[in-house]
Each structure stands twice: as C-alpha cells, then as structure tokens.
C-alpha cells in the first residue's frame, strides 16, 4: 500500500476519533448539567406565567418546570397550609390523600412524560415536603 494512502487512512481515523471524543464530551457535559440543575432551576417564580393558559402547542413543553426549584426551595416552606399553597399556586391539577400535584410540563429528557411538583401535607393540612418528580 502506498505511503500516501496510509497517511490518508490515519488522518481519516484521527478525524473520526476526534469527532467521537468531542461528541462524548458534549454529551457528558449536558448530562452533568441536566442531572445537577437542569431545566428545573432556570427561572424565578412568576405567578402570571404559572397561571397563564396553556395552548396545545405549549402542553408538550416544560412550561412551568423552570420555576420548580424556586418554588420548592424558596417559596414553600414546611408548615405552610393548603390554603397558602392554593392562594399561591391555585387549585392543584391532582389531589390525593395528603398530597397536591401541579403539572410542570414535559421537562424530562425525551419529553415522553409529564413532570410534577408534589406537595405533601400532614393531617393538619400543613406542608411536610415538596418534591419535583420526573415520571
């Protein structure tokens, strides 16, 4: 095999290897960002945006997700009442015994499932915990 052909093959392999290495680095960086802060910590709570009507096109987006960490960590403290939560966030999208759920939108990875803000209450109707759950 001629020397020039071998050099071309080596150069092509090096370019492919560099492209793969770059792709892996970008994907790793994106995964680290998504798993550490991700879409849930990109915005401060905006009550008007939270309560804004959602169109069919927006329904498949992460329309409330960016505010979730701000709500969980700064605005909803342990001991707050169900009435406080409803005054702040409105009626929940779902209720269960001792729990309110608010839909955040399709925030996780491939957008197959909805993500929710879960607020847990004790028997006296006071917050015991708040979680962001990716389904």
Q: Is the pLDDT of residue 36 over 50?
A: no
Cα-based angle 113, 115, 119 (whole degrees, multiple of 5): 145
Question: Tens digits of per-residue pLDDT, 61-112?
Answer: 888 888 898 899 888 888 899 999 999 899 999 999 999 999 998 887 666 7
Instruction: Report how far apart, in Å, the C-alpha atoms of 7 and of each of 4, 18, 72 are.
Output: 5, 16, 58
Alpha-carbon torsion (36, 38, 43, 47), positive or negative: negative
Percentage, residues of the chain above pLDDT 90: 31
Global pTM exceeds 0.75? no
Q: What pLDDT score was predicted for residue 85?
A: 94
38 vs 113 pLDDT, higher one: 113
What the block records as the tokens of 130 is: 């708040």
Question: Which residue in 62, 71, 51, 31 sits closest to 134, CA to CA?
Answer: 62
- CA angle in degrees (0–180, nearest 5) for 90-73-62: 60
**CATH code for 39-134?**
3.30.1450
CB distance 46 to 85 below 8 Å: no
The rounded distance, in Å, linking the Cα atoms of 64 and 115 is 9
What number of H helices and E strands is found in the chain? 4, 4
Q: Which of 30-34, 105-109, 117-121 has the lowest mean pLDDT?
A: 30-34
């Amino acid at each position: 095999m001629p020397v020039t052909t071998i050099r071309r093959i080596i150069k092509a392999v090096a370019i492919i290897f560099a492209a793969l290495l770059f792709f892996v680095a970008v994907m790793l960086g994106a995964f680290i960002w998504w798993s550490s802060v991700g879409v849930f910590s990109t915005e401060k709570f905006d009550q008007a945006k939270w309560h804004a009507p959602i169109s069919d096109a927006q329904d498949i987006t992460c329309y409330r997700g960016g505010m979730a960490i701000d709500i969980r960590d700064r605005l909803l403290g342990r001991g707050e009442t169900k009435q406080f939560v409803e005054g702040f966030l409105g009626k929940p999208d779902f209720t269960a015994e001792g729990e309110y759920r608010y839909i955040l939108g399709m925030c996780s990875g491939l957008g197959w499932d909805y993500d929710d803000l879960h607020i847990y209450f004790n028997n006296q109707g006071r917050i015991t915990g708040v979680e962001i759950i990716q389904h």
